[in-house]
Structure 1
Amino acid sequence: MSKLPTTASAPFAGKVAIVTGSESGIGRETARALCRQGAAVVLNGRCPERLEHTRQALAQAGLRVAACVADVTDYADCERLVAAAITAFGQLDILVTNASISQRAYFADMQPEVFRRVLDSNVYGAVFPLKAALPYLCQSRGSVTFISSISALNGMPSGSAYCAGKAAVANLCHTLRLELADTGVHFGVVHIGFTQNDPEKRVLDAAGQPVPIAHRPPRWQKSQAEVAAIILRHIRRRRQRTVISALGQIIVLVHTYLPRLGDWIVLTTIRRLRHFYE
């Protein structure tokens, strides 16, 4: 077992993190940022080749990483993931439940099994890693960050299962904060807005086939590194909720105080900007 860094100037020095879904995208950049700020990180994904490529890239940069191939919708896999962190680094302080599947399909067209697959990835993909990690997080009085979406704040057409799953995770976070208040564990949720994606990023269509995500104007998107920096600030400050982007803040305000206006805006964009959803 290797000794953890203790550099006082590094915000996460001496901490060990698991970031699910970190073989690519936002998860990868969050893992990279945590390492650069002193943490040792266990990477996770379902594709062995892509996960190993990410592990090697971070390790070659001098960052302290381990990796575990695991499907976070399988509880036994999540137990292995947590065990990998304890074996490699001896403790667990931070869990970021980032792994999930998204969609690009209207509810009426979706096969039931596809709806279940998307919902399971977003709900059980957060619940199972946490359930496996909770005893260690209680020992360290650690931190749990659920990655949600601004689409959980006000439903998004062509995203029914994804929106439902992300909203469930946000409510789960609130419930656990109350249930486990005496443990000292931090429970927080980050609602991510439109973010630049890896070129190979795919979501599921109505039949469960992988397709490119719907169009997003580049000017509305944050980089993955920018989102990762916000996630780290959220963890460091042990915040209860962080909503990323000006658009996300507007959605919160409109959904809270002018919900009918919010619905009118969405219905108008469906008619005039169908490519935004399809």
Structure 2
Amino acid sequence: MSEIITGLRPRLAQPWPAGAGPFAGQVAIVTGSESGIGRETARALCAAGAAVVLNGRNAERLEHTRQSFADAGLTVVSCVADVTDYASCERLVAAAIQAFGRLDVLITNASISQRAYFADMQPEVFQRVFDSNVYGSVYPLKAALPHLIRTRGSVTFISSISALNGMPSGSAYCAGKAALSNLAHTLRLELDHTGVHFGVVHIGFTQNDADKRVLDAAGQPVLIAHRPPRWQKTQAGVAAIILRHIRRRRKRTVISVLGKLIVLLHTFFPRLGDWIVLTTTRRLRHFYE
């Protein structure tokens, strides 16, 4: 696909205004930042002093986000790129270097979710969801790694609490998100000498944009499963936690009480955890479907 890079300026010795904040002088790429959690994480990074490269596949929506950031005086450029295509990821990273001359933070947020049971899914749909969650993190990181090593930077994979113990109707999504934890652990061991931080954030139920869609068994976009509003965190609240995770260079952050309960059950009481999931699957099917 062809990439569209907007808001780009020639690289200068200091190509963005000096400012206060914990991320002042740093440059970040946030994939999937045209909307949702990615957009609010990018906004929080800008407010904390960073220059940010926005990313998405929808050129019109991405440009709307970029323009709203620019109108607010935030330092951003944007790049339309499919993160499951390695050449696109190379151009995404090149856009950051061309605009700002360095790269300090990579947040791999772009992914596709699902509402479909494994037995009903078409194989190509499973692959599409899985690839978006695994290669959608691997390819941007592979392209960005040399620059992150130079700055002893930070990498954060955005995962989900559903990866901690699995969730019915989410097989490909859960498998892909779970893979990110092992990937991060392996990279910490392989690249310990570089000083690069590798972390994973497991996000819980979060308020979504009104047009948020996931894939059904045939690959068609459908609304996400119902979640009680009282269980949901705001996108801005999740973004604040992600920034705190990066500042503290944490290995893992699990968001929400439910997520921490899942960790506890999965670690110490796995049979009880499975019983709870199986019971709620029978009695609260709408929670999964």
Scaled by the length of structure 1, what TM-score is found?
A: 0.99
Residues 94-114 of structure 1, C-alpha deviation per residue, up to 9 Å, x if partnerless? 000000000000000000000
> What residue in structure 1 maps to residue 27 of structure 2?
16
Return the offset for 1:137. 0.1
> What residue in structure 1 maps to residue 140 of structure 2?
129
Match of 1:100 among 81, 102, 111: 111
Match of 2:72 among 19, 44, 61: 61
Return the offset for 1:6. 3.6
CA root-mean-square deviation:
0.7
> What residue in structure 2 maps to residue 239 of structure 1?
250
Alignment of structure 1 residues 206-217 onto 2, 5 Å: 206-217=217-228
> What residue in structure 2 maps to residue 266 of structure 1?
277
Residues 218-263 of structure 1, C-alpha deviation per residue, up to 9 Å, x if partnerless? 1110000000000000000100000000110000001100000000
Match of 1:179 among 175, 178, 190: 190
Q: Is the Cα contact below 8 Å between 1:97 and 1:147 reproduced in 2? A: yes
In 2, Cα distance between equivalents of 1:117 and 1:243: 26
Runs of 4+ that moved beyond 6 A: none
> What residue in structure 1 maps to residue 154 of structure 2?
143
Letter in 1 for 2:150: Q
Letter in 1 for 2:86: Y
Match of 1:49 among 44, 47, 60: 60
In 2, Cα distance between equivalents of 1:155 and 1:62: 42
Task: Please list every run of 5 or more consecutive structure 1 residues that lacks an aligned counterpart in the other structure.
Answer: none
Task: Please list every run of 5 or more consecutive structure 2 residues that lacks an aligned counterpart in the other structure.
Answer: 1-10
In 1, Cα distance between equivalents of 2:219 and 2:136: 18
Question: 3-state DSSP class of the match of 2:78?
Answer: strand
Question: 3-state DSSP class of the match of 2:169?
Answer: coil
> What residue in structure 1 maps to residue 86 of structure 2?
75
Letter in 2 for 1:195: T
Letter in 2 for 1:103: Q
> What residue in structure 2 maps to residue 192 of structure 1?
203
Residues matched between the structures, number? 277
Question: 3-state DSSP class of the match of 1:190?
Answer: strand
Residues 181-240 of structure 1, C-alpha deviation per residue, up to 9 Å, x if partnerless? 000000000000000000000000000000000000111100000000000000001000
Letter in 2 for 1:75: Y
Q: Is the Cα contact below 8 Å between 1:148 and 1:167 reproduced in 2? A: yes
Match of 1:169 among 172, 180, 187: 180
In 2, Cα distance between equivalents of 1:118 and 1:18: 22
Scaled by the length of structure 2, what TM-score is found?
A: 0.95
Letter in 2 for 1:71: D
In 1, Cα distance between equivalents of 2:206 and 2:78: 25
Q: Is the Cα contact below 8 Å between 1:119 and 1:164 reproduced in 2? A: yes
Letter in 2 for 1:164: A
> What residue in structure 1 maps to residue 127 of structure 2?
116
Letter in 1 for 2:271: R
Residues 33-82 of structure 1, C-alpha deviation per residue, up to 9 Å, x if partnerless? 00000000000000000000000000100000000000000000000000
Q: Is the Cα contact below 8 Å between 1:251 and 1:262 reproduced in 2? A: yes
Return the offset for 1:5. 3.8
